[in-house]
Amino acid sequence: MAKETNENKNTGGARYLHGRRDIVTSADAINASNVVAIVSQAYVTHLANKSDIDYLYKYYKGDQPILYREKEIRPEILNRIVENRANAIVAFRVGYTIGKPVQYVSCVSDESVSDKIATFNDLCRVAGKATKDKQLVEWQMICGTGYRLILPNEDKKAKVPFRICTPDPRQAFVIYRNDIWRTPLAGVYFTVDDNKNVHFDVYTPTEYFRIEGEQSGKLVMQDGNAMGRIPIIEYPLNMARIGAFEVVLPLLDALNNLDSNNLDSVEQTVQSLLVATNCDFDEGVTANKIRESGMVCIKSVGDSHADIKIIGESLKQTDTEILKQNLLQAINEIAGIPAQGNGYQGDSSNNGAVILKNGWQGAETKAQDFEAMFREPEQMAIEIMLDICKRLSKLNLNPDDVDVKFTRRNYEDLLAKSQTLVTMLGNDKIHPQSAYEVCGLFVDPQDAYNMGMDWFNKQQEQVPEGGGGPESEPKEGTTNDQGQTWVAGYWQKRSADTR
């Protein structure tokens, strides 16, 4: 049996968490007169969050309570097995939601705006934003929240005028006003030097402060914030800031315990004890030597018959396997992980039925929930980046014209999406732009529509004079030398089974 402790660290028993705490203040604004007091108070709350994040990060890396398991009975047979499902949950959720880079698309039907957004996407690519997004989402899945820092590029010759960083959430936090709007008042990032001294960088919408000291902090620097915005943005995964595997921590610990006990059972069966009943041994054979030999000596009452037997009772693997599968099913359903097949089972169901049955719909629902929470802070990041671009480069783009597009799974059901597009384009009561937006075939429907209209106009320009009217068209059903038939205003190849 594992010995449980109540230690709030990874060197003892299990620890079950319930999300990160909001960091708020009652002040209307943060300035030089109150910044030290407010940051010191917020830092106390952050330390509690930091302890939780550190525990979850270690758990994600494999430092889990089962590694500190102890046994009182036969302590020499002690297995500590970590089946790191927490890592698998994070890896799947990150890959499924952000495996393809986030793209920015146009919200308006203006070709010049689409060109500017293409330039903006190119700047983000050069700045390595896709990698930063992956790091950010990974932190979100581990501890329930993540942070992004955006500052102007100090290198004036750089192609990208802004820099993007993903701070460690154990060293960053945002202070909100304690009202219904939860307005961000300051973003804080701190470092610890070799002498264990804490240094805080505090950004408000109008000022920058440098504070040194953890207990009795001292304001050592004050400067203006030319950006006019808080460059540190928080990306909560959900309202409670709960990580992807945090809600299944009890089940994960139970799974590790089950695996460890199963292996203990196998070893105990192999190393079964011999029981010697009413047996005498040579002098000099001590109890310790008998024990080392895997033997126990007893005397029976009322019976002098000598006997030696093997004690061996192993767990029924069928029962434990059923229990393990039940645990895995509960973990996958709660965490939004699709069921994994064994590779030998066929399925004649259609694609939609398999998606629903195997849990892919649950994964998609989790991803859609993630997108809804990701958009608002990402829009704040877009405003900061475009503001820097406007001041330091020639790119002048309105943030309201930019939308966030996730490219997940747009490659599926291409035939159905294409048929939807063709059907809608053939209806003269549906605007072609609506068809492009609804079909789900394109990452950027506006850009695809503009390209399509450009191509269509060029094709129309190539029609010879007097050759484009209905009176010059071939008769319906006319066949040319290439075996094509004129149907509904187009030359179409006649299929083999057409009569």
Q: Quick one: pLDDT band at residue 434, thresholds 50, 70, 90?
A: confident
User: Is the pLDDT confidence value at 314 over 60?
Assistant: no
Determine the average pLDDT of the residues in 378-388.
Answer: 97
**Domain shared by 37 and 136, yes or no:** yes
pLDDT digits (tens, 9 = 90+) for 264-292: 877 776 555 555 555 666 555 555 565 55
Q: Quick one: pLDDT band at residue 428, thresholds 50, 70, 90?
A: confident
**Domain shared by 126 and 262, yes or no:** no
Query: Residues 249-270, buried b or exposed e (16+ Cβ, 10 A)?
Result: bebbbbbbbbbbbbebbeebee
pLDDT at 275: 58
User: Is the pLDDT confidence value at 27 over 70?
Assistant: yes
**Domain shared by 264 and 252, yes or no:** no
- Choice between 332 and 109, residue whose per-residue pLDDT is larger: 332
* Boundary (domain end) residue, out of 304, 322, 342: 342
CA angle 465, 466, 470 (to 5 degrees): 135
497 within a domain of the structure (yes/no): no
User: Is the pLDDT confidence value at 422 over 50?
Assistant: yes
**Domain shared by 231 and 334, yes or no:** no
420 within a domain of the structure (yes/no): no
Determine the average pLDDT of the residues in 355-370.
Answer: 80
pLDDT at 324: 92
Rounded Cα distance, 459 and 463, in Å: 7
Q: Quick one: pLDDT band at residue 442, thresholds 50, 70, 90?
A: confident
**Domain shared by 220 and 313, yes or no:** no
Element (H, E) at 360: helix 360-392
Rounded Cα distance, 283 and 323, in Å: 49
pLDDT at 3: 41
* Boundary (domain end) residue, out of 342, 366, 393: 342
Supply the range of the domain harboring residue 303.
258-342
**Domain shared by 360 and 285, yes or no:** no
Amino acid at position 200, single letter? F
Lookup: tokens for 315: 């767990």
pLDDT at 488: 58
pLDDT digits (tens, 9 = 90+) for 94-133: 999 998 889 898 888 787 898 999 999 999 999 999 999 9
Rounded Cα distance, 16 and 67, in Å: 16
Lookup: tokens for 421: 């597009």
Q: Quick one: pLDDT band at residue 415, thresholds 50, 70, 90?
A: confident
Rounded Cα distance, 149 and 192, in Å: 18
Lookup: tokens for 202: 């505090």
pLDDT at 369: 93
pLDDT at 36: 95
Phi, psi of 152 (to 5 degrees): -65, 145
Lookup: tokens for 27: 């002040």
435 within a domain of the structure (yes/no): no
Lookup: tokens for 154: 């100090």
82 within a domain of the structure (yes/no): yes
| DSSP 8-state code for residue 169 | G
Rounded Cα distance, 488 and 497, in Å: 19
268 within a domain of the structure (yes/no): yes
Q: Quick one: pLDDT band at residue 6, thresholds 50, 70, 90?
A: very low
pLDDT at 146: 98
pLDDT at 354: 53
Q: Quick one: pLDDT band at residue 344, thresholds 50, 70, 90?
A: very low
Give me the chain's average pLDDT, please.
83
**Domain shared by 139 and 274, yes or no:** no
For the question of whether the overall pTM of this predicted structure is more than 0.85, the answer is: no
Lookup: tokens for 254: 């139970």
User: Is the pLDDT confidence value at 385 over 90?
Assistant: yes
**Domain shared by 241 and 216, yes or no:** yes
46 CB contacts (<8 Å, ≥6 apart)?
Answer: 23, 173
pLDDT at 120: 96
User: What is the number of structural domains in the chain?
Assistant: 2
Sign of CA dihedral 13, 14, 18, 22: positive
**Domain shared by 110 and 87, yes or no:** yes
Determine the average pLDDT of the residues in 166-183.
Answer: 96
User: Is the pLDDT confidence value at 321 over 50?
Assistant: yes
Q: Quick one: pLDDT band at residue 432, thresholds 50, 70, 90?
A: confident
Determine the average pLDDT of the residues in 434-450.
Answer: 79
CA angle 177, 178, 179 (to 5 degrees): 95
Determine the average pLDDT of the residues in 304-312.
Answer: 58
Phi, psi of 303 (to 5 degrees): -145, 120
pLDDT at 421: 87
78 within a domain of the structure (yes/no): yes
Determine the average pLDDT of the residues in 354-381.
Answer: 85
pLDDT digits (tens, 9 = 90+) for 448-481: 887 888 888 877 776 555 555 555 566 666 777 6
pLDDT at 173: 98
Helices and strands (H, E) in the chain, number of each type = 12, 16
**Domain shared by 251 and 274, yes or no:** no
Q: How many CB atoms lie under 10 A from the CB of residue 11?
A: 11
498 within a domain of the structure (yes/no): no
